[in-house]
C-alpha cells in the first residue's frame, strides 16, 4: 500500500490552514481505495475527498467528530468551525490530511479529549510527586533557563520559593545564593564559583557545608538534546555517619597499628586483604603480601620449616585441613625459637582473620611456674602436715596428699575447685564427727567461721587420730588450713600426765607410808619400850610371873615389828623387780585349811565366824606355797578387819570350765564403792587415811597379794557391793595344775 504523505501544516487547535488540503481525487480512485464496511469499523473518523474537497465517503466516527456529512465540502474554514463546535462540547478533535496517489485527499479526525486529560492528570501527579520529594530537583534548558524546579530545590539552596519564577536562569540562582546566609562562608563562595564553571555536558557531584552545619550534595546530569538537571540532597546524616565511620576507621587503624598482636585478614577468595605492623614483627622471617593466596603462603612457609619438620606435602595437608569456618586455636614453636599462639575466626563475608601472638615470655613463665609448682608439690608431699589452701569464695585451691590421709577422705574429694560446703556435706554423710545435733552444730560452725582471724583446735577423726587443726588467713581473703597428727604427742602427754599423777600418787603414798608406818611401828615399839621399862623399874629381883608376862608381850611386839618389816621388804622387792618364787607341790585344800587355822584366833577375837567351801577333789598346784599362804593371810586379814562382829568370812575353791582354779574369800562386811575398788590395790593406801581411822593397818596387804598372784601368772580381783560385803577372787591358770 502506498504511504500517505502528511498534511503540510496543522494549527494548534487541530484545524487545517488555508491551502493545506490537497486537490480532489477522482471518484474512481476513491472507490478503488477502500471498502465501506472497513471504514465503518474504524474508531477514528476518516473521510475521502475529491480534488474539490468534496466528501465522497466518510465513516460514522468522522460524522460524530466534525458533524460533516457526505457530499459537503470539507474546506479549512468548515473544519475549523467544526472543531470549535466540538470544543464547545468540551471535546478536543485533532484533524490531519493526507494526499491520495490517485488525486484527492483523506481527512482523519481523532477525539483526543480523554488521552489529553489522562496526560494532564499524569503530569499533575508527577508535579505533585516532585514537589513532595525530600531532595531538590531542577531542570534547565541548554541556555540555562529553569524549566522546572520543586520547592525543595529553593529550600536547600537557602532561597525563598519565589526565587524559582518563570524565566529564572541558573546564573540568577547562583547570584541569589551568593547573598544567602547559608553560603556566606569561604567554602560557600568557592562552591558557587565552582558551580558557575561546571561543564554541564558531563555528570558531576560536589558537597558543601553551610554555616549552620548542614551538608548538601549537588549533582548535575546532562539531558538528551541539551540542557541538564540538578539534584540537591541534604546528606548531613550521611556525612555525619561517614565522618564517624572515617573516625572509627582511623581509630581502628590506630588500634591495629598499636596492638601487640599480629592480625592478618583473608577474603572469601582466600587471598590476603590486610595485616597490621605487629604481624610482620611476630612473623619475622615469614613475609606475606597483599593479594597472596593462602595456599601459596602455607607452601612457602612449609618449605622453610615454619610448621616444623616433615615432608612438605604432609605439612601442607595438615595445615590445609583446618576448618576455617569455625574458630581454631593452637600453639607452635617457630624455627627462630619463639612460641606463637595462633587463633583464627570466620568473617561474615566468608573470609577469616588470623591473630598471632608471641607467647614466648608467657610460655617461659608457665614453664617456670610449672617447675615451681612441681617443687611446691614435692615439698607439700614431703611435709608431714596436711595443708589445704582456700580462696575468698571458700573453694579449694590446693591440697597435699597427707591432708586427705590424715582426715580420712577418699581419693578425689580434696580436688581443686571443690567448695567447702561440698566437702563438709560429704563429711556429714560419712559421719566424720558422728551423727545428731552436735555434729551438725560443729559443721555449721565451720561453714560460718570468720576466716580472717586465726584459730586453733584439736579434733579426733573417725580412725582415732588426734589432729591439731589450725586456720590462718591468707592474702586476698582466703585462708590456709593446717592439720598435724599429734596422736603420739597426745599419748606422750597423757603418759606424762599419768606419770605425773603416778609420781604425785607415789609421793602421797610415801607420805601415807611414813604416816602409816610411824603409827604402825609406834604401837609395837611402845609395847617393847613400855614392858622393858617396867622390868627395869622392878630392879634385880622382878617377880618371875611378871618377867614371863612382860617377855611374852615384848616377844609379840617384836614379831609384829618383824612382820611389818618383812612386808616393807616385799614391797621393795616387788617394785625393784627382784621378786623370786619357788615351785612347790601345793595341796589346795590343806592350804585353805591352814590359812583358816592361822586366822582363827583373830576371827574369834572379832566375833566373826570362819567357814570354808571345798569340793571333794581339788588338783595339786605347782606354786610357791609360802607366798600363797601369805596371799590368803592378807585376804583373810582384810576380810576380818572390815567385817562387823557377828559376820561371816568364807574361804572356798572351785574348778572353772576353762581349767582355771578359783580360790575366793567372801565376807559380809562393809563393802567397797565401785569407784574405789582399784584404789585399794595401791601401796600404802586406805580409803580412810586419817590417823584416827577406824581400821588400822599399813595399807599394803592387797598390793602385795596382787603382786604375788601376778607373779604366779594369775589374777586377783575384788567384787563388792557397799553394805553387802566383798569377794576377793584369785584365779590361777591351768598350766600351774598338776
Quick: pLDDT tens for 269-300: 999 999 999 999 999 999 999 999 999 999 99
Which CATH number covers residue 57?
3.30.450.20
Structure-block grid coordinates of residue 585: 607341790
For 222-241, the pLDDT digits (tens) are: 998 889 999 998 888 888 88
Let me know whether 98 and 148 are in one domain.
no
Please report whether residue 370 resides in a domain.
Answer: no
Instruction: Give the per-residue pLDDT at 32.
Output: 43
Domain enclosing residue 416, as ranges: 383-479
The 10s digit of each residue's pLDDT in 582-619 is 888 888 888 899 888 988 888 898 899 999 898 888 88
Provide the pairing of β-strand 105-111 with 136-140.
Answer: unpaired
pLDDT at 468 over 50: yes
Q: Which of 518, 537, 571 is the last residue before a domain boundary?
A: 571
DSSP state of 453: S
Domain count, the chain: 6
Query: Do both 291 and 218 map to the same domain?
Result: no
Q: Which of 701, 634, 643, 638 is nearest to 669 (CA)?
A: 643
Q: What is the pLDDT of residue 689?
A: 45
> Quick check: 274 and 290 in contact, CB under 8 A?
yes
Q: Which residues contact 108 (CB under 8 A, 6 or more apart)?
A: 44, 45, 46, 95, 96, 97, 98
Does 551 lie in the same domain as 624? no
CATH number, domain containing residue 452: 3.30.450
- 178 shares a domain with 81: no
Place of cell 555525619: 240
In a shared domain, residues 567 and 665? no
Residues 475 and 497 reside in one and the same domain: no
Q: Please tell me the predicted confidence (pLDDT) of residue 211.
A: 66
CB atoms < 10 A from the CB of 452, how many? 8
DSSP per-residue string spanning 578-598? ------EEEEHHHHHHHHHHH
Return mean pLDDT, the chain: 81
pLDDT at 347: 93
Give the pLDDT of residue 123. 66
Residues 474 and 496 in one domain: no
In a domain, 563, yes or no: yes
- Are 609 and 701 members of one domain? yes
* Cβ density class 353-388: b for 16+ within 10 Å, e for less: bbbbbbbeeebeeeeeeeeeeeeeeeebeeeebbbb
Looking at the fold, whether 145 and 214 belong to one and the same domain comes out as yes
Under the phi-then-psi rule, with left for phi > 0, alpha for psi from -120 to 50, and beta for the rest, what region is 481? beta
Contact 732, 661 (CB under 8 A): yes
Separation CA 62–CA 86 (nearest Å): 12
Strands 204-209 and 479-485: unpaired
Q: What pLDDT does residue 186 have? A: 66
What CATH number is given to the structural domain containing 677? 3.30.565.10
Answer whether residue 8 is part of any domain: no
For residue 472, tell me if it sits in a domain.
yes
Tens of pLDDT, residue by residue over 29-51, are 444 444 667 778 888 889 888 88
Question: Over 80: is that where the pLDDT of 245 sits?
Answer: yes
The pLDDT of 683-699, averaged and rounded, is: 50
The three-point CA angle 721-722-727 to 5° equals 45
Residues 613 and 716 in one domain: yes
Identify whether 373 is part of a domain. no
Examine the domain organization and report whether 731 and 585 are in the same domain. Answer: yes
pTM equals 0.38
- What phi and psi values does residue 583 have, to the nearest 5 degrees? -110, 115
Identify which has the larger pLDDT, 574 or 164. Answer: 164
Residue 300: what pLDDT? 92
* In a shared domain, residues 726 and 590: yes
Amino acid at each position: 500500500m502506498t504511504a500517505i504523505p502528511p498534511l503540510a501544516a496543522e494549527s494548534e487547535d487541530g484545524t487545517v490552514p488555508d491551502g493545506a488540503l490537497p486537490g480532489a481525487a477522482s471518484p474512481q480512485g476513491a472507490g478503488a481505495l477502500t471498502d465501506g464496511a472497513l471504514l465503518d469499523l474504524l474508531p477514528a473518523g476518516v473521510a475521502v475527498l475529491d480534488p474539490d474537497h468534496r466528501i465522497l465517503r466518510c465513516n460514522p466516527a468522522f460524522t460524530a467528530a466534525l458533524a460533516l456529512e457526505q457530499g459537503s465540502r470539507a474546506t479549512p474554514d468548515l473544519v475549523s468551525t467544526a472543531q470549535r463546535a466540538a470544543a464547545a462540547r468540551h471535546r478536543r478533535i485533532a484533524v490531519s490530511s493526507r494526499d491520495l496517489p490517485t488525486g484527492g485527499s483523506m481527512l482523519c479526525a481523532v477525539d483526543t479529549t480523554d488521552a489529553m486529560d489522562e496526560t494532564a492528570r499524569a503530569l499533575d501527579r508527577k508535579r505533585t510527586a516532585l514537589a513532595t520529594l525530600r531532595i531538590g530537583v531542577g531542570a534547565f534548558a541548554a541556555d540555562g533557563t529553569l524549566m522546572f524546579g520543586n520547592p525543595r530545590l529553593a529550600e536547600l539552596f537557602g532561597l525563598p520559593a519565589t526565587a524559582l519564577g518563570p524565566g529564572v536562569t541558573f546564573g540568577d540562582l547562583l547570584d541569589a545564593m551568593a547573598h544567602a546566609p547559608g553560603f556566606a562562608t569561604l567554602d560557600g563562595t568557592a562552591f558557587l564559583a565552582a558551580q558557575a564553571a561546571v561543564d554541564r555536558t558531563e555528570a558531576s557531584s560536589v558537597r558543601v557545608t553551610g554555616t549552620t552545619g548542614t551538608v548538601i550534595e549537588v549533582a548535575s546530569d546532562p539531558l538528551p538534546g541539551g540542557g541538564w538537571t540538578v539534584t540537591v540532597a541534604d546528606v548531613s546524616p550521611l556525612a555525619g555517619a561517614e565522618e564517624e565511620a572515617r573516625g572509627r576507621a582511623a581509630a581502628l587503624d590506630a588500634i591495629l597499628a598499636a596492638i601487640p598482636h599480629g592480625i592478618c585478614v583473608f577474603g572469601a577468595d582466600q587471598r590476603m586483604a590486610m595485616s597490621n605492623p605487629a604481624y610482620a614483627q611476630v612473623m619475622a622471617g615469614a613475609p606475606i603480601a597483599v593479594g597472596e593466596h593462602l595456599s601459596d603462603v602455607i607452601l612457602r612457609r612449609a618449605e622453610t620449616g615454619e610448621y616444623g619438620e616433615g615432608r612438605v606435602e604432609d605439612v601442607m595437608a595438615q595445615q590445609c585441613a583446618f576448618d576455617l569456618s569455625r574458630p581454631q586455636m593452637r600453639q607452635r614453636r617457630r624455627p627462630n625459637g619463639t612460641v606463637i599462639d595462633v587463633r583464627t575466626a570466620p568473617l561474615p563475608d566468608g573470609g577469616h582473620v588470623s591473630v598471632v601472638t608471641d607467647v614466648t615470655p608467657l610460655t617461659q613463665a608457665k614453664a617456670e611456674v610449672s617447675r615451681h609448682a612441681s617443687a611446691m608439690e614435692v615439698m607439700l608431699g614431703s611435709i608431714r602436715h596436711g595443708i589445704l589452701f582456700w580462696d575468698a569464695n571458700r573453694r579449694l585451691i590446693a591440697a597435699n596428699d597427707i591432708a586427705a590421709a590424715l582426715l580420712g577422705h577418699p581419693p578425689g574429694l580434696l580436688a581443686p575447685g571443690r567448695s567447702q560446703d561440698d566437702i563438709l556435706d560429704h563429711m556429714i554423710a560419712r559421719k566424720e564427727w558422728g551423727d545428731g545435733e552436735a555434729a551438725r552444730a560443729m559443721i555449721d560452725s565451720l561453714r560460718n567461721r570468720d576466716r580472717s582471724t586465726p584459730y586453733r583446735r584439736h579434733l579426733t577423726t573417725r580412725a582415732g587420730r588426734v589432729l591439731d587443726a589450725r586456720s590462718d588467713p591468707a592474702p586476698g581473703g582466703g585462708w590456709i588450713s593446717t592439720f598435724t597428727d599429734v596422736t603420739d604427742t597426745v599419748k606422750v602427754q597423757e603418759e606424762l600426765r599419768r606419770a605425773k599423777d603416778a609420781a604425785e600418787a607415789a609421793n602421797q603414798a610415801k607420805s601415807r607410808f611414813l604416816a602409816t608406818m610411824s603409827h604402825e611401828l609406834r604401837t609395837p615399839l611402845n609395847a617393847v619400850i613400855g614392858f622393858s621399862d617396867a622390868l627395869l623399874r622392878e630392879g634385880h629381883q622382878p617377880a618371875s610371873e611378871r618377867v614371863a608376862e612382860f617377855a611374852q608381850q615384848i616377844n609379840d611386839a617384836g614379831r609384829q615389828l618383824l612382820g611389818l618389816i618383812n612386808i616393807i621388804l616385799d614391797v621393795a622387792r616387788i617394785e625393784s623387780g627382784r621378786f623370786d618364787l619357788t615351785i612347790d607341790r601345793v595341796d589346795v585344800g590343806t592350804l585353805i585349811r591352814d590359812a583358816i587355822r592361822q586366822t582363827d584366833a583373830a576371827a574369834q577375837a572379832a566375833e566373826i565366824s570362819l567357814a570354808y567351801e571345798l569340793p571333794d577333789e581339788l588338783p595339786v598346784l605347782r606354786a610357791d606355797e609360802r607366798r600363797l599362804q601369805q596371799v590368803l593371810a592378807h585376804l583373810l586379814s582384810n576380810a576380818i578387819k572390815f567385817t562387823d562382829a557377828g559376820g561371816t568370812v568364807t574361804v572356798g575353791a572351785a574348778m572353772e570350765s576353762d581349767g582355771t582354779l578359783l580360790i575366793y574369800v567372801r565376807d559380809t562386811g562393809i563393802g567397797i564403792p565401785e569407784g574405789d575398788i582399784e584404789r585399794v590395790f595401791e601401796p600404802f593406801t586406805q580409803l580412810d587415811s586419817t590417823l584416827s581411822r577406824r581400821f588400822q593397818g599399813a595399807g599394803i596387804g592387797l598390793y602385795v597379794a596382787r603382786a604375788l598372784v601376778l607373779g604366779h601368772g594369775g589374777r586377783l580381783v575384788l567384787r563388792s557391793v557397799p553394805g553387802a560385803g566383798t569377794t576377793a577372787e584369785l584365779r590361777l591358770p591351768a598350766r600351774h595344775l598338776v
